Amino acid sequence: MQIQYFGLSSFKITTKEATIITDPFHKDSGLVAPRGAADILILAEKNSKLYSATSGISGEHFDVTDPGEYDVKGVTITGIPLKQENKYVTAFLIESEDIRILNLTHIKDFNLKQEELEELGDIDILILPVGGNTVLSASAASKVVNEVDPKIVIPSHYKMSDLILDLDGIEKFVKEMGGKKEEMEKLTIKRKELTEEGTKVVILEPLR
């Protein structure tokens, strides 16, 4: 499995059988909108212009836009609705190649009950926003990491060059997590490699 990052809450996840793209953002963000072919397109907030700029996504993709369970091309996706002030944003559990990814998309409040979190089972990779303002703050995000206890955490939705949204930089979250991080262009991972104790922070360089 390979994970790459476009920016905000948009990722490209490539498995043996499928290419998944999540939350392609609009150019109004100041960033160049994601482009590419996908087999599966996941939208956490289908009615938000900012997070559903699908015009650049090609291919005959299966669209996951609502809570529920989906099985497509060797990928199981479970959509979990999370109440956010006056709306719902969907988080997604993505399972493929015996690897389990929890993507918290662009939530501001992590309000899963303890029993609901336990029902999800062990999480190998946690993707979560850390930039504050409209999403989780760095300190709130670090608490979520402690609750979920993944092997790998990939921060998203933070300040970067050309982005016009008001977000904190990645440094705040890294500091909250103890200062250790690994930076890479893409994360390539196999199930047998997820054996280390503790949580590793991986920062992905945005695709351009």
- DSSP for 133-182, please give it: TTS--HHHHHHHHHHH--SEEEEES---TT--S----HHHHHHHTTS--E
| pLDDT score for 208 | 75
| pLDDT score for 113 | 86
Q: Quick check: 161 pLDDT over 80?
A: yes
The answer to whether residues 89 and 107 touch, using CB atoms and an 8 Å cutoff, is: yes
- Digit-coded pLDDT (tens) for 102-111: 999 999 999 9
In angstroms, the CA 188 to CA 178 distance is: 24
Rounded to two decimals, the pTM is 0.96
Which CATH architecture is the domain 2-204 placed in?
Answer: 4-Layer Sandwich (3.60)
